[in-house]
């Protein structure tokens, strides 16, 4: 493997302002390291060859500060983006941190909270437009319940849809070049979250007034927490042209949201995911929503960031080698993989029914064949292990 492992901006790697500089606070312990200032963060990204940065309104501009102060913080961000050439690739709203969101944001039982949440989002959509961010993420961290009796789920989904339709209406009216990407998660911080998986969220998007303006921002950790295959979820999102953004990180199954360095845990799943993305039409950011281990310190947090990108590039190179390997081509043929791309019966017609009904199938022979998946899968493992 002699491909390059050092990232360049053309790779479109991006990080959120809340990621590399995460101070290590968790529900059981306080910060373990000082935060990184926005300017140092953006300069650091440029130094390691990253391309983009994303932010929550409250990461960038002090919550509740006077407008003049918020404007100064925004202008300072724009200045460092100009200096470094780092792109603002995505924006999002913090609708989870402040105690007022404890019962939800767009789905809080309190109508005032719901109206405030939409106002907060509209304000930051203006900022996103000013910064040229093409994607606006919505992670409904607090949209859910502990007590299922506390919300009629149909009312909650009505209110969620109402908020999304309103936001889309605003972006259309303002003629902003922005699409929304909804981020599913099954639980945490709520006991149960509305729109818990990729599948639920895609079905919900179909009910919206402007479904083309809304897609997905799936995250490795979140589908894995739900015990689902992230690969299959992303593949279906791509098939439905709904992959608008992606949050890459890693996760052990059945745990709290770990947001681990990309490629640090499920290496086979990560290989398949990178191969899927690299062979797809997706050309959005490869966005890392991960954080350094809580016991990391100093420049170690930048080692974490480099590691995310290095592993992605390594897996992309492995995926190319895999696809070019003649043994893989033979194994795919033995598995009849190309045959799945051949239409089965075509469009419905009476003639096609006649033809199908006359066909004789050798059921015993069909049951007796094998699909040689063991050889194929071992080639995946051999490639990852480099043997
Ligand atoms: C938060 C969450 C992430 C979301 C971010 C966007 S914030 O860190 O855990 O998965 O992508 O709101
Ligand atoms: Mn996460
Ligand atoms: Mn995320």
- Ordered DSSP codes for 107-148: T-SSHHHHHHHHHHHHHHHHHHHHHT--EEEEE-TT-EESSG
- pLDDT of 3 reads 75
Token pair of 203, please? 């079905």
- pLDDT of 249 reads 98
91 three-class SS: strand
Confidence of residue 4 (pLDDT cuts 50, 70, 90): confident
What's the rounded mean pLDDT across residues 52-70? 98
Query: Quick check: 1 pLDDT over 90?
Result: no
Query: Quick check: 159 pLDDT over 60?
Result: yes
What's the rounded mean pLDDT across residues 269-298? 98
Query: Quick check: 113 pLDDT over 70?
Result: yes
Q: How far is the CA of 153 from the centre of ligand 3 (A)?
A: 24
Burial 246-283 (b: 16+ CB within 10 A, else e): bbbbbbeeeeebbbbbbbbbbeebbbbbbbbbbeeebe
Domains of the chain: 9-323 (3.20.20.150), 326-385 (no CATH)
Give yes or no: 59 in active site.
Answer: yes
Higher pLDDT, 2 or 166: 166
Query: Quick check: 140 pLDDT over 70?
Result: yes
Out of 289, 291, 292, give the residue to mutate to test ligand 1, the one with the largest number of ligand atoms within 8 Å of its CB. 289
Atom of ligand 1 nearest to the CA of 221: 10
What's the rounded mean pLDDT across residues 327-341? 98
pTM over 0.85: yes
Distance CA 372, CA 51 (A): 42
pLDDT digits (tens, 9 = 90+) for 175-197: 999 999 999 999 999 999 999 99
Confidence of residue 2 (pLDDT cuts 50, 70, 90): low
55 three-class SS: strand
User: In this structure, what are the phi and psi dihedrals at residue 298, rounded to the nearest 5 degrees?
Assistant: 60, -135
- 109 neighbors 118 (Cβ within 8 angstroms): no
Query: Quick check: 317 pLDDT over 60?
Result: yes
Q: How far is the CA of 330 from the centre of ligand 2 (A)?
A: 39
């Amino acid at each position: 493997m002699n491909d390059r492992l050092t990232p360049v901006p053309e790779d479109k790697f991006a990080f959120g302002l809340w990621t590399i500089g995460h101070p290590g606070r968790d529900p059981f312990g306080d910060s373990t390291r000082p935060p990184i200032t926005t300017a140092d963060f953006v300069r650091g990204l440029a130094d390691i060859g990253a391309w983009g940065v994303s932010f929550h309104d409250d990461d960038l501009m002090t919550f509740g500060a006077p407008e003049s102060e918020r404007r100064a913080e925004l202008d300072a961000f724009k200045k460092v983006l100009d200096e470094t050439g780092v792109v603002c690739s995505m924006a999002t709203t913090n609708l989870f941190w402040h105690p007022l969101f404890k019962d939800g944001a767009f789905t809080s039982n309190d109508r005032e909270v719901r109206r405030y949440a939409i106002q907060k989002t509209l304000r930051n959509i203006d900022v996103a437009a000013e910064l040229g961010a093409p994607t606006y993420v919505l992670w409904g961290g607090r949209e859910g319940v502990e007590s299922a009796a506390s919300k009629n789920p149909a009312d909650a989904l009505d209110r969620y849809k109402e908020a999304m339709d309103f936001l889309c209406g605003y972006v259309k009216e303002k003629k902003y070049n922005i699409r929304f990407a909804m981020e599913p998660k099954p639980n945490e911080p709520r006991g149960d979250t509305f729109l818990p998986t990729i599948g639920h969220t895609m079905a919900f998007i179909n009910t919206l007034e402007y479904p083309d303006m809304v897609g997905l921002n799936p995250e490795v950790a979140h589908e894995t927490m739900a015990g689902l295959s992230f690969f299959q979820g992303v593949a279906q999102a791509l098939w439905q042209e709904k992959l608008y953004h992606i949050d890459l990180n890693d996760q052990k199954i059945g745990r709290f949201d770990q947001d681990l360095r990309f490629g640090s845990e499920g290496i086979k799943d990560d290989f398949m995911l990178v191969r899927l993305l690299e062979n797809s039409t997706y050309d959005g950011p490869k966005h890392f929503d991960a954080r350094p281990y809580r016991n990391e310190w100093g420049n170690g947090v930048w080692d974490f960031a480099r590691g995310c990108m290095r592993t992605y590039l390594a897996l992309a190179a492995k995926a190319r080698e895999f696809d070019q390997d003649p043994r893989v081509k033979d194994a795919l043929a033995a598995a009849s993989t190309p045959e799945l791309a051949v239409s089965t019966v075509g469009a419905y017609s009476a003639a096609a029914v006649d033809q199908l009904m006359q066909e004789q199938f050798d059921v015993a022979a069909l049951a007796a064949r094998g699909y040689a998946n063991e050889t194929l899968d071992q080639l995946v493992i051999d490639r990852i292990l480099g043997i």
